[in-house]
Amino acid sequence: MRSPRHAVVVAASLALAGCEGWQSSLDPKGPHASAIHDLFWFFTAVCALVWALVVLALAWALWRRRGLRPDPLSIQGGRERRLTIVVSTLVALTGVTLIGLTIASYASQRRLFGPQEARLTIRITGHQWWWDAVYEDPDPQRTFSTANEIHVPVNQPVLLKLEASDVIHSLWVPSLAGKQDLIPGRQNLLTIQADRAGVYRGQCAEFCGWQHAHMGFLVVAQPQQDFDAWRNQQIVARAPPDDELRKQGEGVFLSSTCVTCHTVRGAGAGGRVGPDLTHVGGRQYIAAGALRMSAEALAAWIVDPQGVKPGVHMPATPLRPDQVQPLAAYLEGLK
């Protein structure tokens, strides 16, 4: 039995975890997120001040309220003039405040959407319920796709071209940028930038069906050198399996229904319905953030995807028990 004190500690840590860490607008780690963060606190401060002044004025008015005027028609000229000046001044101040907030908002928009030179472009397509990421390059040989986890170099604006294949989704990596919708039939642009190396979590922010909550996304920000190494490694095809178990696993993969939906470059699998699995073992999660990457998680996912994400479009793959382990080992080994 857990004590009430334990519950309080858990609740407090959950509340605090929402303010900092890998998925929080209040913990910005890039210039775009900082612009939104600054605007948020500016609005909060101004609105809190206005609220406090209104409540004080109300309290003061209630405190010195007198009885009803003996005759409502008896107007005292001097008092009326004073009241007119006070009310007009307050109306003007309200106008000035609103104009100030509008200017602050406009200035933030310029920081978010002003011209920026992005050297890296990633096309992200939202699907129910995962993210397809294609790293574009003028040289088609250097174009590759991955899923649910993107790597970016630090201190560089990265342009995301956002599209959707089925319904409207919304990409939101709170520590790096604001939300942007992914809409079928059109392309929206969003620039993200990380100032510090780290892993930042994102989430689909537009209700898109049953597993909307399990549509997570990771941005791994790395120093340029590490990013280049990662990118060069993603471009190449999978390394052929080097042990018996994984060789057997590739055989299972290629002879089962997996290949109709998934790509493993170099293995002869070219399905484009589900995520590209060429380097799936190098990702931190599977199923768009639903499970931590491990051979066991892969096995559980392949055998019973509906048990992990009810409603998911991936069908269960009918496999014999002696096929599941090699297949999971094979996929986990695709680094």
Please give the Cα distance from 215 to 287 (Å, whole number).
8
120-149 footprint of ligand CUA as x/- string (CB under 6 A)? ------x--x--------------------
Which residue is listed with tokens 């011209």?
A: 115
Cis preceding linkage at 60, omega within 30: no
Q: Does residue 202 belong to the site contacting ligand CUA (CB under 6 A)?
A: no
Residue type, 298: L
Q: How far apart are the first and last CA of the chain?
A: 42
- The least CB distance from residue 177 to ligand CUA, in Å, is 17
Question: Interior CA angle at 98 toward 92 and 99, to 5°?
Answer: 90
The only residue of 29, 32, 151, 169 in contact with ligand CUA, by rule CB under 6 A: 169
CB of 111 or CB of 212, closer to ligand CUA: 212
211 vs 323 by CB, closer to ligand CUA: 211
Interface segment toward ligand CUA; rule CB under 6 A; list 200-208, 225-233, 259-267, 294-302: 200-208
- The angle formed by the CA atoms of residues 193, 198 and 199, to the nearest 5 degrees, is 90
**CB closer to ligand CUA out of 206 and 276:** 206
Q: Which of 109, 207, 268, 335 binds ligand CUA (CB under 6 A)?
A: 207
* E strands present in the chain: 120-127, 130-135, 144-147, 149-153, 158-164, 169-172, 180-182, 188-192, 198-204, 216-222, 263-264, 269-270, 285-286, 291-292
Q: How far is the CB of 211 from ligand CUA (least distance, A)?
A: 8
In whole angstroms, the minimum distance from the beta carbon of 204 to ligand CUA comes to 3
> Which residues make Cβ contacts (< 8 Å) with residue 21, sequence separation at least 6?
27
The residue from 132, 149, 163, 206 that contacts ligand CUA (CB under 6 A) is: 206
Q: Applying CB under 6 A, which part among 69-77, 191-199, 206-214, 274-282 lies near ligand CUA?
A: 206-214
Residues in touch with ligand CUA (CB under 6 A) = 126, 129, 169, 204, 206-208, 212, 215
